[in-house]
Structure 1
Amino acid sequence: MKKLSLAIAAMAALTAHTFASAQAYTGATIGRSDQSLGCSFATTCDTKSNNFKVFGGYNIDKNFAVELAYFSLGSANYSYPASNSPYGNVAASGAMFNSKVKQSGVSLAAIYKLEFNESFGGFAKLGIANVKEEQSFSVPGIATISDSSFRSNKALFGLGLTYKLSPDWTLRAEAEKLNPGTFSGKGRAATNFNIGAQYNF
């Protein structure tokens, strides 16, 4: 019985230590994204949009964490003369052929963290994102030609800085890159710049 009590106490101490050194956190960021559309053919092209992200993470120890996030990159837009489109029924209209691209998805990343001092820190991330890409084509005042969507897996890279306001709250700024060519041959790349805050449990 004494040995069993000691074993239980040891397991309890180990569990307490594990949770003490592996705190969870959650947070949100907002910012700007830039989607790579390749607009050399377009009359107008706006690849930048507002974005947001909500995330939750788990600190394995003081240097490593894993993080799950949902993000929206907003929408990018471009247009060109309908006469250049493959849809002959609108070619004679003289209107502009418009397209809108929206991307959103979920990501899972490994985080490596460094503390510069008691307040400032930095981190790097590497992960994978499953991204839904939605695209619509239309001629204003005439018709929506088509709508399509697909999903693809993209490599995720990121760098960030943190500033600890208190044991519970941390400010966070980061840059992320989504690369579509790593896991699938389709989709568009995107670059994100975000600021926000996280709450540490």
Structure 2
Amino acid sequence: MKKIIALAAIAALSTVAQADGFYIGGDVGKSRISDEGLKFKGTSYALFGGYNFSDNVAVELGYRNLGKDTITIRNVPFTLKGNALQVSAVLSAPLGSDFSVFGRLGVNRLEGKLTFPGGAEKETLTRALIGFGARYAISKEFGLRAEFQKAASDTQVFTFGADYRF
């Protein structure tokens, strides 16, 4: 059974690998969340995939872990964890053969969990997603990128990452 699942996964990946326009990638960076006057900072990472309709227009779907941070107020620890599912349109403009800038407009489903002694609160929100960044193409397939995202009015993320285009 495991061999059948492995063969099915290889077949699915080889189909994607032959499809022009698709890309996958990941990034890591810093997130900052301000919640009711409290500021939380964490290490953020994301996995994403997308499809380039042209050199200038793409659609992207991703999962972002916003990290975890604990702050102590009057000897009481508060821990915040967050993540987001994101979908967005990405518009890019080449500034040369290897360098481009891009903007992002989309929506994300944010989930945050605040824990404290004696309890926890969980909240799920759907908010607009905006961002901008730059990409440097190492080769036709492989690129490096830096990006700033505003996932909600109180959530900011700055990342460095890489992508692979099929």
Structure 2 residue aligned with 1:195? 160
In 2: Cα distance, 1:167 partner to 1:149 partner:
43
Structure 2 residue aligned with 1:118? 97
Q: Which has the higher strand share?
A: 2
Structure 2 residue aligned with 1:90? none
1:43-82, CA deviations, whole angstroms, 9 ceiling, x for partnerless residues?
xx6522111000001001111000000001112332222x
2:23 to 7, 22, 25: 25
* Residue 105 (structure 1) shift: 1.7
Q: Aligned pair 1:156/2:135, yes or no? A: no
- Structure 2: 5+ residue runs without aligned partners? 1-18
Aligned residues: 148
Structure 2 letter corresponding to 1:33 = S
> Tell me, what secondary structure is at the counterpart of 1:51?
strand
Q: Aligned pair 1:129/2:108, yes or no? A: yes
* Residue 109 (structure 1) shift: 0.3
> Tell me, what secondary structure is at the counterpart of 2:35?
coil
In 2: Cα distance, 1:76 partner to 1:37 partner:
12
Of structures 1 and 2, the larger Rg is shown by: 1
* Residue 152 (structure 1) shift: 0.7
Contact 2:33 2:39 survives alignment (8 Å): no
> Tell me, what secondary structure is at the counterpart of 1:62?
coil
In 2: Cα distance, 1:164 partner to 1:129 partner:
27
Structure 2 residue aligned with 1:76? 69
Q: What TM-score does the superposition give when structure 1 sets the normalisation length?
A: 0.70
Contact 1:123 1:160 survives alignment (8 Å): yes
Q: CA RMSD in A?
A: 1.4
Superposed, which structure 2 residues align to 1:1-201 within 5 Å?
20=20, 23-39=21-37, 47-81=40-74, 96-138=75-117, 145-180=118-153, 189-201=154-166
* Residue 99 (structure 1) shift: 0.9
Identity, % of aligned positions: 28
> Tell me, what secondary structure is at the counterpart of 1:199?
strand
> Tell me, what secondary structure is at the counterpart of 2:26?
strand
In 1: Cα distance, 2:148 partner to 2:30 partner:
10
Q: What TM-score does the superposition give when structure 2 sets the normalisation length?
A: 0.84
* Residue 122 (structure 1) shift: 0.7
Contact 1:46 1:77 survives alignment (8 Å): no
Q: Which has the higher helix share?
A: 1
> Tell me, what secondary structure is at the counterpart of 1:129?
strand
